[in-house]
Structures are given as C-alpha cells and as structure tokens.
Amino acid sequence: MNIILFDGNAYEHLKPFTFTRPVGEIRVGILTIAEKYTKRNCSVSYHTQDYLSVKYPLKINEVNIVVNASVCPTDAFVDALSGLKPGQGITFHGSVIAACLTADQVKTDLESVVNETTEFKDPLTKIERLWHIFQHNGVELENDYELITKGRTSKTLSNTNKIIGDRIFVEDGVWAECAVFNTTTGPIYLGKDATVMEGVLVRGALAVGEHSQLNMGAKIYGPTTLGPYCKVGGEVNNSVLFGYSNKGHEGFLGNSVLGEWCNIGADTNNSNLKNNYDEVKLWNYAVGSFERTGLQFCGLFMGDHSKCGINTMFNTGTVVGVSANIFGSGFPRNFIPSFSWGGAQGMTNYKLEKALETASRVMARRKKELDAVETDILTRVYELTKEYR
C-alpha cells in the first residue's frame, strides 16, 4: 500500500520542528509517525514543503492512499485504509483524514475529490500542536511497544539490575548494570546497543533508542522517549528527544520536546509549572502569537541544532527555534527565534556561516555529514525566519 503523508495545517502549528522535517517525521512513542506505517508493511512518502522534498520525496503511483500526517496509525486504521477504493475517504470527528486518490488527484484538497466517506470511530492520536508530542507520548509508546515486540522474545539483562514488573523488552547489544526499571507504570523498551549506566532509576513508560545512553544516576519519569544516539543524565520527566541530542548532565527537563542535534548544558533547568499554577501559553508560528494550551504543566520546545550553555534557565512554555545558541544568566524570553545568539541580556543574529560550521562539527561526531541537502534546508530556514530576529 502506497501511503502519502501530507502535512496539512499541522505543519504550521508544529514549527519549529517542521521547519526541518515533514509532519510525518515527528517522533512520538517509540517511532516516528512514518515509521508507524512502515512497521505495518506500508510504503511511505511525503507531500511536504518544496524545500524539504529533496530529502523527503513524494512517490506517486497510479492509485495512492493519501493520509493526514498528523494521524498516528493503528492496526484498525491501516486495515480501513487498505479497503479504500478511488474516490473513497475516511473521516474522523467529521473531518476527512484519508482518501484513495489517482495520480492526478494527489495534490488536490481531499474534501474536493472525495465523493464517499466512512467515519472512523475507534480511538486515534493526532499530533496537531507542539504539546501533543509529550501529552500523547504515553499512549503512543504503549501502542508502539505492542507493535514492535509482538511475537518476539526479549534479550535478558544482567542480574545486577532490579526489574519491577515484567513489561520490559531488550534488543541486541544492550548494556545495563545496577539500574532499577519499574515497568508497573508503563512498558520499557531498550533499543539496539543502548547503554544504561550504574545507578539509573526509571519509572516507565520509557523508550531508549538505538545507541542511546542513560548516564550514571539519571532519574527518568515516564512517559519519556529518547530517539537514537541520545545521551541523557540528570532528571527527565515526560519528555521526548527526537534523536542525536544530548542532555548529559544534572538539571531538570520536564514536559518538553527536543529536536535533533540539540545540546543542553550542564545544570540547565526548565520550568514546567508557573508559580501561580496558571494555564501555560505557548508561541504558535501559525497565528504569530501565544496561544492557550489548556495545560498546567508545559516545558521547553527546542528546534533542531539549537544549544544552550551551562546553568541556562528556561521559563515555563518556552519555544526555541532552529539553530539558536542560548547562554548567560537570567531567564531568556519564552520565544527565541531561529538563528539567535545570546540570552536574557539580549539576542543578536547567529550568522548562517557560523551556524553551519557548528552543525557540521556536531554531526561529524556521530559520523554524519552536513551535506548539500542538509545545508540547503538550514539555509532555507534561515531565510524563512528572518522576520523574527
């Protein structure tokens, strides 16, 4: 089945993460949204922004299943998609979220080409706002855990570890010693070649991606996800790191989302609760202002390639753009534009050439290259975000 994930309205609302990726590449649970389809034997491509399409191409067949990329699939939803015929669609809460289209219909509005719809009545997760990523991480981690582990046998951990409950799955190459895993509050998934050092305390749910590492004494409260090649220490609560990002030292990260290639300096903390316990408002690029989240707990959202220095303090509900560099005393503002350099004392423009040099060095440490495609994406984001600096 040829699935085309189209960004839709969620693309604007999910910036800064969607500055550098389609909506379907958002990670929530163990997998990205796209991986949730491929794990169910679907072929996936993307109808996304032109400047992202080189890295994330669109594949059009004679007959295609076009799906709103904000929808996290279930087995039942994929079954419903497989039964669609050209011109038929699926609605969820009254809105068309999927349709079977011919090649010449793929780039048209779904509502205008669908002539027969069926309402999907089972539960579905939709990721349409930044906070949905951590808010729905528990449900999606549970769903992904069942999907990935079904019919498989876990590797065993050393008996120096303490495991409470039995909902833990260990892939090949995992190294863990003298750690405590409490699975009674949610499943724990340890990806291939992951490392869990001595003294780590985990309350599930937790996903640790391949080659990721929990440093000595880390305290992890679920539902939390570390994508591949992350290093995490200190205290983390209900947060998602997409991949290749580090929060390696002491400090608190809660109700937060970090993109790729981020680095959190030692003893950095984010607030996830206002002093007056009021509802948190969050910057939304789509409306150009702060919007209500309906949440009392809401932390930090940091776009790809952004960094902060030691002892950085982030206010409740802070949004940091792509490739920002934050440092210094005090609390910086709770919306930091992409390619900003500075902190509470003021911000200046982070020159594109310097930002690209840093990105290249950081990626090389993980044996990745800042190639022409990645450079073009970051250059385009730099141009797109000038108005905010």
What's residue 107's pLDDT?
82
What is the percent of the chain with per-residue pLDDT over 90, rounded to a whole number? 96
Provide the 3-class DSSP secondary structure of residue 273.
strand
Q: Which pLDDT score, from 0 to 100, does residue 49 have?
A: 96
| Of residues 363, 238, 247, the one with CA closest to residue 308 | 247
Per-residue pLDDT tens digits for 295-339: 999 999 999 999 999 999 999 999 999 999 999 999 999 999 999
Cα 268 from Cα 252, distance rounded (Å): 7
Predicted pLDDT at 112: 77
How confident is the model over 257-285, as pLDDT tens digits? Answer: 999 999 999 999 999 999 999 999 999 99
- In the numeric block, the tokens 């981690």 are attached to 141
The type of residue at 32 is: T
DSSP state of 157: P
Tokens 């949440």 -> residue: 295
CA-to-CA distance for 22 and 25, rounded, in angstroms? 6
For the whole model, what pTM was predicted? Answer: 0.96
- Residue length, the chain? 389
Tell me what the pLDDT averaged over the chain comes to: 96
- Three-state DSSP class for residue 24: helix
Short-list 34, 36, 58, CA closest to 45: 58
Cβ(54)–Cβ(373) under 8 Å? Answer: yes
pLDDT of residue 179: 98
Confidence (pLDDT) at 108: 80
Q: Tell me the pLDDT tens digit for each residue of 4-53.
A: 999 999 999 999 999 999 999 999 999 999 999 999 999 999 999 999 99
Integer Cα distance of 137 and 215 in angstroms: 22
Render pLDDT for 73-114 as a digit per residue (tens, 0 to 9): 999 999 999 999 999 999 999 999 999 999 989 888 777 788
Distance, CA of 45 to CA of 346 (rounded, Å)? 41
- Asked if the model's pLDDT at residue 240 lies above 90, the reply is yes
